[in-house]
Structure 1
Amino acid sequence: MKVNVLNEGAKYGAICGLLAIVIMYGSWAMGLNTFVSVSFWGNFLPYMIAIILIGGFQLRKQNGGYLPFAEALKFSFFSYVVAAILVAVATYVLYNLIDKELTQKSMQIALEKTRAMMARFGANEEEMAKQLKKTEEGSKETGIGKIFLGTGIGLIWDFIKALLITLIIRKEEKFTD
């Protein structure tokens, strides 16, 4: 290996994490409705996948055009780990130090949006009330435990994405006898 994959993973993970933080704080600064919408839709935007793919191809290029599967997986998953840690810290700061009422305020908007979506899908009032109550009970605060749990669950999904990225960026050397 010519290039340290963990250093490169840390670099691209920092890029992804900082971009996610800018998006999170920027949407919060634009208002609560924007924050809630961006928080929801941000989960579906593949900007981190694109950044890690670009980094993986750069890493492969720096390694003479080859990147073994194990090294590619270390790079891609470590990028996600670094990004997740940065985002978790920034989330804690936003929800617990900067805007202590953000959990409750954003939950109210999320509940309204959920109610509207359920109504569009034809759910009856009883089903909606039951689901909304269940959602509201699980979201009283955004403490360190909840952030830690969310980060851990997110990393499981991130590992799956890292595997897919690895399949794209890896290139094994072919040895001939």
Structure 2
Amino acid sequence: METQETPFKAALRSGMIVGLISLVISYLVYFINATSMASSWMLLLVALSFVLVLVFGFKYRKELGGYIPFGAAFQFSFFTLIVAGIIGMFGQILLFEVIDPSLPEVLVDQQIQNTMEVMENFGAADAMSTEQIDEMKQGLLDRYSFAGQIKAFGFVLIFYAIIALILGAIIKRKEPTPSY
């Protein structure tokens, strides 16, 4: 009798693949142009991760015989995102703390510049004082620290749960009930 892989085991394998792909892309962007890491293109990386979770979820469903209940689909999606997120978080910590400790400063400067450009477009660039800009800069820098990354991951878990609900609903497929 063939044993079926649990959602947790399947998610571990899939999460490692999604996490490593995301990490490789992030590092490539860093080596090509580090300031691009502060742009909105990074949302495409997040979207790619969700698409990969769907692809692996459909593959897992097929391995189970073409049907998967919502609960198992949610568990698969959520744990895949968690594993990928942990890999990504430690990769980012390695990048910010070991490989290039000056990178957070570069990214924060770019983020502030982007924010000021948006505020200029709305005619509100003069609304912020130097103290407010310095405070915003320090808050952004804190997010790149080791503790900031860990804390942010806690909030990301809530986001992952919501996304996993959506992905689980897409992946699930009920077995047809025979009609007599």
TM-score above 0.5, yes or no:
yes
Trace 1:2-21 onto structure 2 (pairs within 5 A): 2-21=4-23
CA distance in 2, matches of 1:124, 1:58: 50
Contact 1:118 1:128 in 2 (8 A): no
Alpha-carbon deviation of 1:76? Answer: 0.3
Aligned residues: CA RMSD: 2.0
Ranges in structure 1 where 5+ consecutive residues have no aligned partner = none
* Equivalent residue, structure 1, for 2:67: 66
For normalisation by structure 2, the TM-score amounts to: 0.88
Query: How many angstroms apart in 1 are the aligned matches of 2:159 and 2:25?
Result: 20
Runs of 4+ in structure 1 deviating by more than 4 angstroms, as ranges, are 128-131
**C-alpha contact 2:116 2:125 (8 A) present in aligned 1:** no
Determine the structure 1 residue equivalent to 2:27: 25
Letter in 1 for 2:172: R
- The counterpart of 2:145, out of the listed 143, 146, 160, is 143
Q: CA deviation at 1:69?
A: 1.1
Deviations 1:109-133 (A, max 9, x none): 1111110111112214024756533
Tell me the number of residue pairs that the alignment of Structure 1 and Structure 2 aligns: 175
**Counterpart amino acid of 2:72?**
E
Matched, 1:117 2:118: yes
Shift of 1:162: 0.7
Measure how far apart 1:61 and its partner are. Answer: 1.1
For 2:136 and 2:38, locate their aligned partners in 1 and report how far apart those are by CA, in whole Å: 15
What's the TM-score once normalised by structure 1's chain length? Answer: 0.89
> What residue identity is the alignment partner of 2:139?
G
Q: Following superposition of structure 1 onto structure 2, how do residues 70-85 of structure 1 map, counting pairs within 5 Å?
A: 70-85=71-86
Question: What is the CA–CA distance in structure 1 between the aligned matches of 2:106 and 2:125, rounded to whole Å?
Answer: 25
- Is 2:117 the partner of 1:105? no
Taking the aligned partners of 2:34 and 2:55, their CA distance within structure 1 comes to 33
Using a 3 Å threshold, how does the CA distance of structure 1 residues 34 and 109 change in structure 2: closer, same or farther?
A: same
